[in-house]
Amino acid sequence: MTSELLDQALVEEATKKSGLIWVRGSGPAARALWHVWHEGAACVIGDGPGEQPLPGLTDGGPAEVTVRSKDKGGRLVSWTARVVELAAGSPAWEAAVAELKGKRLNAPDGEAMPERWARECRVLRLEPTGATAALPDSSLAEAPLPSPATTREPIPAGLPRLLLKKKRRRGQRPS
């Protein structure tokens, strides 16, 4: 009993303090998601234009959540969750959206965000089942998912000359 309570406390405190959680649904890869801890579960929003994708997370399905340390970035705990999709406009949805709205950074529509979320997005609760996984012996590092944001191209050949020219111009005194 004491071990279960300690695991529950670890899951709650670690997830509350972490800005990102890594979630794996029925898909092959875990995905980093921003979230809020609300009423005993991690709440996430996504699958709409301009919001994070939630692949493999289906209502009633399982998910594996990995929480990292906010300061060191290392794995603190992995726990299993049951995915619950909240119906738009329900009291549970309203409460979760109120928390999520306060944590959403750089929203394009500000105060109209909840209406857009109700129309175009899904709000999910990741409810802990009580099972935690043992920490692995290896790193389990994986290659990042393909994304245009991670593609790096060589700098243009003339760029260093242009930058050096601007420095020289700034360094000269006006006559």
Give the list of residues 6+ apart from residue 89 with CB closer than 8 angstroms, or none. Answer: 118
Query: 119 phi and psi, to 5 degrees?
Result: -80, -40
- 26 lies in some domain: yes
What is the per-residue pLDDT across 58-88, written as a single tens digit (0 to 9) for each? 999 999 999 998 888 788 899 999 999 999 9
- 9 lies in some domain: yes
The answer to which of 7-11, 28-32, 83-87, 166-170 has the lowest mean pLDDT is 166-170
What is the per-residue pLDDT across 93-103, written as a single tens digit (0 to 9) for each? 999 999 999 88
- 70 lies in some domain: yes
Angle between helices 91-103 and 113-120 (to 10 degrees): 120
- 43 lies in some domain: yes
| Confidence at 150, pLDDT banded by 50, 70, 90 | low
pTM of the model: 0.76
- 73 lies in some domain: yes
Query: 164 has which bridge partners?
Result: none
Q: What is the CATH number of the domain that holds 127?
A: 2.30.110.10
Domain count, the chain: 1
Whose tokens are 């939630």? That residue is 54
- 69 lies in some domain: yes
Whether the CB-CB separation of 29 and 146 falls below 8 Å is answered with no
Query: What share of the chain in percent tops pLDDT 90?
Result: 49
What pLDDT shows up at residue 170?
63
Q: Which domain holds residue 57?
A: 2-142
DSSP string, 73-142: --EEEEEEEEEEEEPTTSHHHHHHHHHHHHH--S-SSGGGHHHHHHHH-EEEEEEEEEEEEPPPSS----
What pLDDT shows up at residue 29?
83
- 39 lies in some domain: yes
